Chains A and B, each alone.
Chain A
Amino acid sequence: MKALALAIAWTWIALPLGWGVYQSVQKAMPLFTGEAKPAAPSRQVP
């Protein structure tokens, strides 16, 4: 019974948190796959 209560409690929070992480990873993918426009040339520090 105690093990079941523990499993329910941890699943209760793990599911939404896991979903949130998945959503963020998906959103982050373009960072590694998307094409970047060329940035302004870097000014050399003397």
Chain B
Amino acid sequence: MHFLSREATVAKAGFNRWLVPPAAIAVHMCIGEVYGFSVFNVPLTQAGAGWTIPQVGWIYSIALFMLGMSAAVFGKWVERSGPRKTMVVSAACFCGGLLISALGVKLKMLWLLYLGYGFTGGIGLGLGYISPVSTLIKWFPDRPGMATGMAIMGFGGGALIGAPLGVKLMEHFKSATSIGVAEAFIAMAGLYAVSMLFGAFIVRVPAEGWKPEGWEPKEHVKPMVTNANVAVDVAWKTPQFWCLWVVLCMNVSAGIGILGQASKMCSDMFGVSAAVGGGFAGLLSIFNMGGRFVWSSVSDYTGRKSVYCIYFLLGAILYCAVPWTQQIQGKVALVAVTAIIITMYGGGFATIPAYLRDLFGSYQVGAIHGRLITAWSVAALIGPSLVNYISTAKIAAGVPKAEAYNSTMFLMAGLLGIGLIANLLVRPVNPKYHLKETPKT
């Protein structure tokens, strides 16, 4: 198994570093399928096993929970093992999870779907998500934001591919005796395995001491960017880690609150059909993907702290503008406002690895990122629940459907305000936490 080891992936002299981003994207665009898993919800309730939507909904929730947990628990192992082995294990877990789920559909055993897509697939998601982060940062020390932004853009793009692919495969395999879900899972497992293994095959880590031609690390770095390194077990005990945890949690809670409810929100606010609402959600997914690359690239020039201040300040203003778009019945205005909000939601995800690198160095940045991702798991519970609970309560209290989301938007702006405060509290890490000597990887 030497082929999978970190040593086997060390690039030879003259290797083109631009081969690494496609390796990362090839993995991320597969595991990003989780965002599009909802296309299977209704078909699964028609599988003849009597499953309900809330029961089926747990598959997605378990997968997202396991994403956060596995990224946090296995982060150090990922750093030790290198990107290739991690990508292969991620592919085995994610695609294996799809196969177990296919078996669950065939045998009409829901627990197999929880175990398959939820538990096993969720571990694959977590490993795959953090696998290329530190590798990309080491290949692109001159532009770490852009590099990680590209990979995480792939995750956003995964939803754009996964949802229509799932629908088309189910249509293709549908027959008198099958709803096509199990067959779709098997086909997706095969397709995704090929793409993820392609990523694992082409990924390389830079040789010790490698740096881009003509680039020298600055002696006097910016105050918020360190040349030192902090170990993951120390990093997560610093106030900076927890400030960034709150930053990510608030940014994601606010964004996911809109993204998860986009279709219904658009229908309720403007009285449009479900198809139009679905189109709105699809459009936001494109901006979610684009924002990941654009904003994280911008952060290489503005600095991470400044770009998060933009996310939070501009985001809060735009959230407060959403009720106005409903009042003027401006569909295009709603699209414009929410599109910018969602670019910053994606940007928040994509900029965080570079922010961590700035504060804690690149030594175990993937593992630190893994632990920070628990903020995402928490946000995935907070955001949609807040929007659901408040809008439902408002409608029950007699507020017209079209206006039921107003107070939620102001609340989301408040969450961004909390994120802004946490971001402003971020200071350089105390040098006492720095490693005296960085161990060789």
Contacts and interface: CB of A to CB of B under 8 A. Distances in A.
Given A16-B161, A17-B161, A9 B402 contact: no
Interface range on chain A: under 10, 10 to 19, 20 to 34, or 35 or more? 20 to 34
Interface in A1-46: 2, 5-6, 9-10, 12-13, 16-17, 19-21, 23-25, 27-32, 34, 36-43
Given A31-B335, A39-B271, A39-B402, A20 B164 contact: yes
A43 B400 contact: yes
Chain A contact residues, majority secondary structure: helix
Contacts of B285: 24
B109 interface: no
B160 A6 contact: no
A37 B286 contact: no
A34 B161 contact: no
Contacts, number: 111
A36 B400 contact: no
B327 interface: yes
B393 interface: no
B161 A9 contact: no
B157 interface: yes
A13 B161 CA distance: 11
A13 B286 contact: no
A23 B160 contact: yes
Is chain B's binding surface mostly helix, strand, loop or mixed? helix
Nearest to A45: B327
Contacts of A38: 271
B16 interface: yes
A21 to B, nearest CB: 6
Nearest to B335: A31
Contacts of A25: 282-283, 286
A21 B160 contact: yes
Contacts of B25: 13, 17
A41 B202 CA distance: 57
B282 A36 contact: no
Contact of B157 (A20, A27, A32): A20
Interface string B384-419: 000000000000000011110000000000000000
Contacts of A32: 331-332
A39 B271 CA distance: 5
Interface stretch (B74-82, B247-255, B273-281, B308-316): B273-281
Given A27-B282, A36-B276, A39-B271, A17 B157 contact: yes
B327 A40 contact: no
Nearest to A11: B22
B279 A29 contact: yes
A27 B403 contact: no
Contacts of B402: 39-40, 42
Contacts of B282: 23-25, 27-28
Residue of A20, A27, A37, A39 with most chain B CB atoms under a 10 A cut-off: A20
B254 to A, nearest CB: 22
Given A9-B19, A36-B270, A42 B326 contact: yes
Given A5-B16, A42-B402, 16 more contacts: A6-B18, A6-B19, A12-B195, A17-B25, A17-B161, A20-B160, A23-B160, A23-B282, A24-B282, A31-B276, A31-B279, A31-B283, A36-B272, A36-B331, A39-B326, A41-B400
Interface of B: 14, 16, 18-19, 22-23, 25-26, 29, 154, 157, 159-161, 164, 195, 198, 202, 266, 269-273, 275-276, 278-280, 282-283, 285-286, 289, 326-327, 329, 331-332, 335, 400-403
